[in-house]
């Protein structure tokens, strides 16, 4: 079955996935028209409005998809590193060629249109990662084997975040962690990321909240108690002695009990007490690790030491590193501030729009919140609120179910590959789509901070549509040739 050589490529293309792609693109186009519709507007094909412009981008994406399917599948493997190098040069040049758009230096003007190179970088990075990790001799055994893959995703992410000032586009590269996990990366790496986010939130949200007894903050004490639990868990897990868990837990309870008694007469600095407990457990962890040769515990001790410094640095990062608009968005999300007319305006209006749709929606082109332009960016980053208002809960669930079907189909495609290169690339594509979907919908619903990433195939914009098309149709071409490929 040599599809590309027989000229019979169309028999082996996954038409179900293409059907889902067309369905999402078509429904997204309708909602862009609904979001940008004004009462004096007559045609969805009017190129003076965004729906008409999106139609032109859609036609371009269809042509792009056909061209990508006709290219020899080996081309994507052969040119992966060359394309990666060219992409880095383009990303580095972008801040010098781009115009400042709302603080971002990521858009290059090409006559009447503008393109965002960061949207295409995701596909190129996915190909480069797949080529490196898909080598026959590559095995993911230790952390050293992750140095190059992390560098492949980290370098463009840093360029996009620091030079182009596009935090949302840079954070998308975190989706590759799911790919690394699928290929054998320890789950502890993912848990470390979750722990870092949890400690940051606790430190920022309750870092200034004073304890009712003694001195110290609720945030610091909570962080140190969590680290104490983690250390005791791993000591007992590796050493496998139940009596040790009782002794360690009992010792911690006794220490805090004594401090509470002392606090009756003298104010106890519980921040330092909690840090001291973690340090004592960390030293004991090192002793157990070396004495019983449980070297996994050395990583636990190193993690504890890092977390102590990390919790101390969270406030500095929040106050000095993050931009003012990023800080206020986090503060509004965590309930630290109320800013309904400022940073919280977009999310509040999106919630109102979605809630006003109720169960069946107000009807297509009948959404008052969108027609009266209450929701900023309602046809780009906040396009999902148009779905909620005009199509209601039923329509919103329907859209999410189609996305779920689409992502599960991508995972199915990944699982059936004979080539490791194609399999890794397929998982990268599925992870990127999943990340975009979760972050965008979570952002619109007010569950996540507003970071500004598009909803695949729905949000207005040629760069995002073409970037997602590039991701998808390269995968479909590789999948169509899977019977020609060897592991």
Q: Which residues, in sequence order, are CB contacts of 31 under 8 Å at separation 6+?
A: 379, 383, 386, 387, 390, 458
pLDDT in tens, the chain (487 residues): 344 444 577 888 999 999 999 999 999 999 998 887 776 666 788 777 888 899 999 999 999 999 999 999 999 999 999 999 999 999 999 998 887 777 778 888 877 778 899 999 999 999 999 999 998 888 888 788 899 999 999 999 999 988 888 888 899 999 999 999 999 888 888 888 888 889 999 988 888 888 888 788 999 999 999 999 988 888 887 766 667 778 888 999 999 999 999 988 889 999 999 999 999 999 988 888 888 777 778 888 899 999 999 998 888 888 877 777 778 878 777 777 766 666 667 778 888 888 888 888 888 888 777 777 777 778 888 899 889 999 999 999 999 999 999 999 999 999 999 899 999 999 999 999 999 999 999 988 888 887 888 999 999 988 999 999 999 999 999 999 887 765 4
Q: What's the CA gap between 146 and 143, in Å, rounded?
A: 5
Angle CA(435)–CA(153)–CA(471) in degrees, nearest 5?
Answer: 55
- pTM of the full predicted structure? 0.88
Residue whose entry in the numeric block shows the structure tokens 């990944």: 414
Distances (CA, A) of 124 to 76, 117, 389, 404, 412: 9, 11, 36, 24, 22
Structural Rg of the chain based on CA atoms: 26
Angle CA(342)–CA(345)–CA(347) in degrees, nearest 5?
Answer: 135
SS (H, E, C) 196-221: HHHHHHHHHHHCCCECCCCECEHHHH
Question: Could you tell me where the DSSP H helices lie in 207-293?
Answer: 218-239, 242-262, 270-291
With H, G, I as helix, E, B as strand and everything else as coil, classify residue 109. strand
Angle formed by the axes of helices 147-158 and 80-97, nearest 10°: 30
With H, G, I as helix, E, B as strand and everything else as coil, classify residue 113. strand
Helix, strand, coil % (nearest 5) of the chain? 70, 0, 25
Strand 113-115 and strand 108-110: the pairing is antiparallel
Measured in whole angstroms, the distance separating CA 11 from the mean position of its chain's CA atoms is: 35
139-151: b (≥16 Cβ within 10 Å) or e: ebeeeebbeebee
pLDDT in tens, 226-251: 999 988 888 887 766 667 778 888 99
């Amino acid at each position: 079955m040599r599809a590309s050589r027989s000229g019979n490529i169309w028999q082996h293309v996954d038409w179900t996935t293409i059907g889902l792609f067309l369905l999402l693109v078509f429904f997204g186009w309708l909602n862009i028209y609904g979001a940008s519709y004004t009462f004096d507007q007559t045609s969805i094909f009017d190129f003076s409005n965004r729906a008409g412009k999106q139609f032109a981008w859609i036609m371009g994406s269809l042509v792009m998809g056909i061209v990508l399917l006709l290219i020899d599948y080996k081309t994507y493997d052969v040119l992966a590193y060359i394309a990666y190098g060219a992409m880095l040069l383009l990303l580095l040049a972008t801040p010098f060629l781009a115009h400042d758009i709302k603080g971002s230096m990521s858009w290059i003007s090409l006559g009447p249109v503008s393109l965002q190179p960061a949207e295409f970088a995701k596909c190129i990075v996915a190909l480069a990662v797949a080529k490196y990790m898909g080598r026959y001799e590559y095995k993911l055994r230790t952390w050293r084997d992750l140095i190059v893959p992390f560098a492949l995703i980290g370098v463009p992410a840093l360029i996009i975040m620091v030079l182009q000032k596009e935090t949302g586009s840079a954070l998308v590269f975190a989706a590759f962690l799911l790919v690394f996990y699928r290929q054998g990366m320890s789950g502890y790496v993912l848990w470390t990321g979750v722990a870092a986010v949890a400690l940051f939130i606790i430190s920022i949200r309750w870092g200034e909240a004073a304890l009712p007894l003694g001195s110290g903050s609720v945030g610091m004490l909570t962080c140190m108690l969590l680290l104490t639990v983690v250390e005791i868990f791993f000591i007992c897990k590796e050493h496998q002695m139940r009596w040790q868990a009782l002794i360690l837990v009992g010792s911690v309870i006794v220490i805090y009990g004594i401090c509470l008694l002392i606090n009756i007469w003298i104010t106890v600095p519980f921040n330092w007490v909690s840090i001291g407990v973690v340090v004592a457990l960390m030293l004991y962890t090192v002793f157990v690790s070396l004495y019983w040769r449980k070297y996994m515990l050395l990583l636990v001790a190193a993690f504890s030491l890092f977390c102590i410094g990390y919790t101390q640095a969270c406030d500095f990062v929040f106050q000095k590193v993050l931009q003012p608009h990023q800080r206020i968005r986090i503060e509004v999300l965590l309930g630290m501030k109320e800013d309904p007319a400022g940073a919280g305006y977009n999310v509040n209006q999106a919630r109102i729009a979605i809630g006003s749709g109720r169960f069946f929606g107000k009807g297509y082109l009948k959404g008052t919140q969108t027609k009266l332009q209450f929701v900023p960016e309602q046809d780009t980053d906040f396009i999902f609120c148009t779905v909620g208002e005009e199509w209601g809960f039923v329509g919103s669930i329907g859209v999410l179910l189609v996305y779920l079907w689409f992502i599960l189909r991508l995972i199915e495609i990944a699982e059936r590959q004979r080539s490791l290169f194609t399999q890794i690339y397929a998982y990268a594509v599925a992870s990127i789509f999943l990340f975009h979907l979760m972050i965008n919908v979570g952002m619109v619903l007010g569950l996540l901070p507003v970071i500004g990433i598009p909803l695949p195939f729905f949000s207005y914009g040629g760069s995002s549509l073409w970037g997602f098309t590039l991701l998808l149709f390269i995968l479909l071409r590789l999948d169509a040739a899977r019977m020609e490929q060897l592991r």
